[in-house]
Structure 1
Amino acid sequence: MRGLALPIAGATLPTDPELLPNSPREYRAGWHEGIDFPAPPGTPVLAVADGVVIRVDTAFVEWTADEEGRALDEAVALGYTPAKTLDRLRGRQVWIDHGQGIVSRYAHLSAVAPLVVGARVERGRTIGAVGSSGYEEGGPHLHLEVRVGDAYLGEDLAGDTLIATIFRAFD
């Protein structure tokens, strides 16, 4: 995969393993599946490529501290993060289908642009704003997942191979 734009103007790709795929997330007995871009709240988030909106969370409601605590306790007890819990932890989201099995997911957004499912978006279009919805412990940042079929970009890779794969995917 090649040719993706960075999702935040002026950003650079992180190399800190904590911000990259496959970093352990012990608080939920899971693994990080995306790339984190720390940024001030409200920073515009841009589409990484042309595509079609397949999800836009316009009515996201934060869960209570008790709900979050129970969900994280359940994940640790199970030894993995259930899909419904992982989805809530991602907070307010926009998903874009780029064709050929590639989907980008933009998570922890503070707001979404006026989008509707089925709308075409162009690379570089503002689709939301950086926030910390879903899981505030990480502070404001964009969590970007690039899904390739059933896998995420960089799945099962580590070190220099992981970093090279991610850098190759972006312009």
Structure 2
Amino acid sequence: MRVSNAPKTSSGKVQRQSALACLNNIELLINPAPNSCLSSGFGNKGRKHRGIDYHKRPVGDVIAACNGIIRTITYRQKDFGNWLVIDHGANVYTAYGHLAKVNHNLRVGMAIKQGQTLGIMGETGNGANGLHLHFEVRKGNVQNPKGWWGLTAVDPFQLAGQCH
């Protein structure tokens, strides 16, 4: 598989990377789609890609990157389709897009645990590039005038490692 906008590496060999990222003392899983492959990295690729895409065949579960509170469960037809946002505290948020479905028992305001299943990877919204998960990490005060879009998008590969 060709990876667009892949994170920088020093060789053509398999790169081992920490499974965790640390942001504001919050430890997040870098890959919330177990046993999947990176299909698109963070940054510019014709347009600003503010997240990371993961692909898996057959499709699999999408899990919470960290403990938190579900802030948004919605359907965004023009972009991310089934979209779920979790507030992890300390002004750290994660979002999960293009889900085929969100688990029916999840509700806004519900506490979630790291590793808890959120839904299944899909291609809803503009996910016409095939089945995948669009995963975003953002930081900042969500009470800004732009809400989610006013937060700073963060590349979790730049935060790799455990919090100390």
Tell me if both proteins adopt one fold, taking TM over 0.5 as the criterion: yes
Q: Does 1:20 align with 2:41?
A: yes
Please, which runs of 5 or more residues in structure 2 have no aligned partner? 1-20, 141-150
Greater share of strand: 2
Matched ranges for 1:1-171 at <5 A: 2=22, 3-5=27-29, 6-11=31-36, 14=38, 19-25=40-46, 30-40=47-57, 42-57=59-74, 60=75, 62=77, 88-113=78-103, 114-149=105-140, 150-154=151-155, 163=157, 165-168=158-161
Structure 1 vs Structure 2 CA RMSD: 2.3
Any conservation in 1 of the 2:79–2:127 contact (CA below 8 Å)?
Answer: no
Report the secondary structure of 1:104's partner residue: strand
Please, which runs of 5 or more residues in structure 1 have no aligned partner? 63-87, 155-161
User: Which 4+ residue blocks in structure 1 deviate beyond 6 angstroms?
Assistant: none
| Superposed displacement of residue 8, structure 1 | 1.5
Correspondence for 2:148? none
TM norm structure 2: 0.69
CA, structure 1 residues 120+98, in 2 after alignment: closer, same or farther (shift >3 Å)? same
Correspondence for 1:75? none
Greater share of helix: 1
Any conservation in 2 of the 1:40–1:141 contact (CA below 8 Å)?
Answer: no
What is the identity percentage for the equivalent residue pairs of Structure 1 and Structure 2? 28
Report the secondary structure of 1:128's partner residue: strand
Number of positions where the alignment pairs a residue of Structure 1 with one of Structure 2: 127
| Superposed displacement of residue 140, structure 1 | 0.5
